[in-house]
Structure 1
Amino acid sequence: MINNLINKEHNMSENIDFCEVCLDDRAYTIKEEETIEYARGKEIKYIKKQAYCTECHNPMYIGKINDENLEVLYSKIREVDNIINIEQIKEILEKYSIGKRPLSSLLGWGELTITRYLDGDIPTKSYSDTLKLILEDVNKMSEILENNKSKISEVAYRKCRNRIEELKKSELAISADESNEHKIDNVAINIIRKCGEITPLALQKLLYYSQAFYKLFTGDYLFDNDCEAWIHGPVYRCIYDRYKCFGRGQIEINDSDEILLDEIEDYIVGCVVRYFGCYSGKILEEMTHSEMPWILTRRGLKKDVGCNRIIEKEFIDTYFKNVKDKYKLISIDDIKEYSTTLFNSIN
């Protein structure tokens, strides 16, 4: 062991314990020393506390200080070897509603293995990796549970099985939410590529019409996001934030950006681009200004007053159902007549 004294000493004369050299109770001071020890074939550096007798100045053994040093050393060993910690092991037990002994048995270890780890013993690297795997991967835990269910009680099995099913459902819900979050981005990229050249202003309006007509012809929303009734028409804030750096210029994107739309989605967005994307951003803005969803949402406001009021999806749905009836829209290609009429009405 190599000890390098650090110039940091705590005067703690009120601390008293038995000195084995003086053979009597003595006051002691504590010094912090940089120490190197070898564990698991590796050099471990850490700051160790050492008590010294104020009479003979020899080192003293103090139980609570020794425990603190071991805790620091074990923590460093875990850090160096990337070993799972006690809190993570507790998280496994809570996550899967399983006890210490049943978990040990499922993993094919001794019944008291998990108990020992929770008491401070350090797992081997392979055991640690297994625990980390099941902490992160519900499917792996499910596989282990099914393969080794005969090793635990029926009650423990059912409790863990039910919890795993809950976790899987939760993961599916999160996955769906994440997919919905990115859907509007994929639609935006699809529009940008189909147009070739498009400004942020025009993109917002084509997103608006894509959402409206997709809902009209399929009964489902193309994406979950709501738009706001800004001065320049309907705006999806997340898309505004993403492309506002282009100002009034043309949007540029990387060819590597993915487009994850199915055949129907792609076709409807393509029709919107074909029949509305032929107009400039300012024309599209005027078109949306003439429609009831934007007008109703901004009721009581002057045209030049900003607001973040959400254009309710119900307003949009009702308005475009009326459009469908008025223009006898049978298929998505029939929206051409509506776009032409709208354009003529503002000119």
Structure 2
Amino acid sequence: MKERREFCIECRKDTEYNLQKKDVVKIIRGKEYTFSITVAVCTECGEEMSIPGLIDKNVQEIDEQYRAAEGLVSIEDIEKLMKIYKIGKAPLSLALGFGEITIPRYLEGQVPSKEYSDVIRAALTSPAFMKEKLNANKDKISDAAYRKAMEAADSIEGLFSVSDKMLQVIAYIFEKLEEVSPLVLQKLLYFIQGVYSALYGKALFQEECRAWVHSPVYPEVYELFSDFKYNPIDDARFAMLDGAADALTKEEKDVVDLVVNTFGMYGGKMLEKITHNEDPWKEARKGYGDNVPSSELLSKERIMKYYVEINKKYGIDTEAGLKTYIYDMINR
């Protein structure tokens, strides 16, 4: 670890220091707040030290805590909104019904009023609300900006065609893996459903799975990412789901971790081979030729029954057990 040293005014020499948290009380707009800021403390005399960059950090800490206390959007929230709707800062201001320079000022650090913050947050969480604002202020922005933002809003509404739990799991998978193709995502969701239901006796998400030619598929998820085909998913819409994975329980995250750390090591074709060697998919595809399309139900109950048996044999609550199972399926 790199040694922290700086000049201590009290000791009159360079000394080591530790970073600690300290509560400070400030009055903002006539209201008292207690903020937790970072301070540097000399290890020799115990006095606070002035460290380059620390004042800027304290300003940022106070700003973030003040916004959180008052329920105000952050600069990152506004940047996220611009990214999601593919719209510039001035057009966004006008589209939301603000003055043209309002959003630029917020991006420079000006704190929004609660009223304006609530409008921005509503646009960030509801594509329907954003569409209302775009239509109400259509004459104030260019046709190109309006069209791009409306197309983005229509696309975002597709996210709500799947359950919250499914979105949370997908968001967590994206956090864990740098690149995920639609093909790999489908397989990981199937394995997550199987492992979770075997370990906890219930399905993790409500969506039903179908036996397509190339293995199990959740049709609603397929529709969300069909544009990416076999390419890694790079989707601005998922900026809306930043933090969504936090709603998962420890048990749910543990299962996703198990699957990602084992099945997630393989590409789509290898994962496809594993599912093709599993009983539920083989039963659902019985009577179909290799390239004949099908959409037979792979029910949550059948998936759970299969993985309960697999758990008895392999102990799939551990990475070692899952890896052994995967090896056997690949080499069957």
- More relative contact order, 1 or 2 (CA 8 Å, 6+ apart): 2
Larger radius of gyration: 1
Give the TM-score normalised by structure 1. 0.46
